[in-house]
Amino acid sequence: MIVVPYTRLLDETREAVPEARFVEVEPEQGYRELLAELWRRGEAFTLVEHDVVPTRAQLAELGACPEPWCHYGYFPGHWIPVFGCCRFSAELIAGTAGAWGDPSWHWGQLDARFAQHARARGWTPHWHSPHVRHDAEFNFAGRSARVEIPDRLLLDLAERERAAVLASLA
Ligand SMILES: [Zn+2]
């Protein structure tokens, strides 16, 4: 199952995962509440955020990976388990019960908060590469036009990663 919580859904995201369950969420608490609901359900799923565009190959790789907690980065420098495109196994969900009960967790911090919660319980995230494509302009300026990632922003990536990101933009 793929779940896409959204407040503003990018067309390319919808096209990238047409089989997903798209859930419009209330901007402040809706994302956390949806995750709480999915945790209560307890089934493995892949989370794709509303401005992230994974390829089919990237989704298949997450689906096939035996690790319990898998993620892609989406912004240069991301090696942390951000929620742009992330897979949660049923074991991880069961092992991190109660993660979503704190309404003080801001929607923009949910991934970092969850990582802290899960690591404290012995879970380790598994990073996949290359990064998924993220519509930076849509996210930061509220417009739907796609922008290329400026080359200078890629400088902090390892060379192998940088080449992969550039190839994905070509
Ligand atoms: Zn993995």
Q: Walk along the chain (170 residues) and give the pLDDT tens digit of each residue.
A: 999 999 999 999 999 999 999 999 999 999 999 999 999 999 999 999 999 999 999 999 999 999 999 999 988 777 788 999 999 999 999 999 999 999 999 998 899 999 999 999 999 999 998 899 988 655 444 433 344 444 444 444 445 565 666 666 66
d(C-alpha 51, C-alpha 146), whole Å: 10
Cis peptide before 125 (omega within 30 of 0): no
Element containing residue 23 per DSSP (H, E): strand 21-24
Calculate how far, in angstroms, residue 69's C-alpha sits from the geometric centre of ligand 1: 6
Calculate how far, in angstroms, residue 87's C-alpha sits from the geometric centre of ligand 1: 8
Calculate how far, in angstroms, residue 100's C-alpha sits from the geometric centre of ligand 1: 23
Calculate how far, in angstroms, residue 27's C-alpha sits from the geometric centre of ligand 1: 29
pTM of the model: 0.80
**Domain count of the chain?**
1
For position 92, which CATH number holds? 3.90.550.40
d(C-alpha 47, C-alpha 43), whole Å: 12
pLDDT of residue 145: 37
- Determine the structural domain holding residue 106 and report its residue range: 2-169
The DSSP output letter for 131 is P
pLDDT of residue 153: 45
pLDDT of residue 80: 81
pLDDT of residue 150: 46
pLDDT of residue 141: 41
